[in-house]
Structure 1
Amino acid sequence: MSYSLNACTPKAAGQNRTFTWPNLDNAALNTKYLGNASASDWEYSGSPKLKDGNVILTMPKNSVGTLISSTHYIWYGKIAADVKSSRGKGVVTGFILMSDVKDEIDFEWVGSDLENVQTNFYFQGITNYTNGAKLPITGEDTYIGWHHYEIDWTPEAINWSVDGIVKRTLTKKSTWNGTANRYEYPQTPSRMQLSLWPAGRASNAQGTIDWAGGQIDWNAADIRDQGYYSATFANITMQCYEPPAGSGDGHLSYAYVEKTGLESSVRVTNNSTVLPDMGHTGLNMGTGNSSTGVGASEGSSSTTLTTSTAASTEFVQHENNAPGQLPRSVWLVAGVLLVAMIIS
Structure 2
Amino acid sequence: MRCLSTLAILLLSTVIATAQHAVPYPESLGNPDIAAQRAKLALSSTTSGCKNSLFGGNCPQSAPCCSGAGYCGSDPSFCAESCQASGSFAPDSCWPLPMAVNLADDFKDKSRVVPINEYNGFPNTADWVIDRSPSTQPHAVITDDKLLLKLNRLEKHPETGGGIGATVHSTRWMKYGTIEARLKTASNVPGPVSSFILISPISGDEIDFEIVGKDSADMQTNFYYK
The runs of at least 4 consecutive aligned structure 1 residues that moved more than 4 Å come to: none
Are 1:35 and 2:121 an aligned pair?
yes
Alignment map for 1:235-250 (pairs within 5 Å): none
Alignment of 1:54 with 2:155, yes or no, is no
Q: Is the 8 A contact 1:12 1:73 kept in 2?
A: yes
Which structure has the bigger radius of gyration?
A: 1
Question: Deviations along 1:220-275, whole A, 9 cap, x unmatched?
Answer: xxxxxxxxxxxxxxxxxxxxxxxxxxxxxxxxxxxxxxxxxxxxxxxxxxxxxxxx
Number of the residue aligned with 1:111: 213
CA distance in 1, matches of 2:213, 2:104: 27
Q: Residues of 2 paired with 1:27 and 1:52: CA distance?
A: 14
Q: In structure 2, what is the Cα distance between the partners aligned to 1:31 and 1:49?
A: 15
Q: Does 1:73 align with 2:181?
A: no
Structure 1 unmatched runs, 5+: 124-183, 185-344
CA RMSD of aligned residues (A): 1.6
Match of 2:224 in 1: 122
Counterpart code for 2:196:
F
Return the letter of the residue paired with 1:53.
D
Q: Where does structure 2 lack aligned partners over 5 or more consecutive residues?
A: 1-83, 132-137, 156-162
Q: Residues of 2 paired with 1:106 and 1:51: CA distance? A: 25
Query: What is the count of residue pairs matched by the alignment?
Result: 124
C-alpha distance in structure 1 between counterparts of 2:169 and 2:107, whole Å: 14
Residue of structure 1 in register with 2:185 after alignment = 85
Matches within 5 A, 1:142-291: 184=226
Distance 1:99 1:64 in 2: 23
Aligned equivalents of 1:60 and 1:23: distance in 2? 24
Q: Kindly provide the amino acid, as one letter, of the partner of residue 17 in structure 1.
A: L
Deviation of 1:74 after TM superposition, in Å, equals 1.1
Structure 1 vs Structure 2: percent identity of aligned residues?
30
The corresponding residue for 2:8 is none
Displacement of 1:10: 1.1
Q: Which amino acid aligns with 2:224?
A: Y
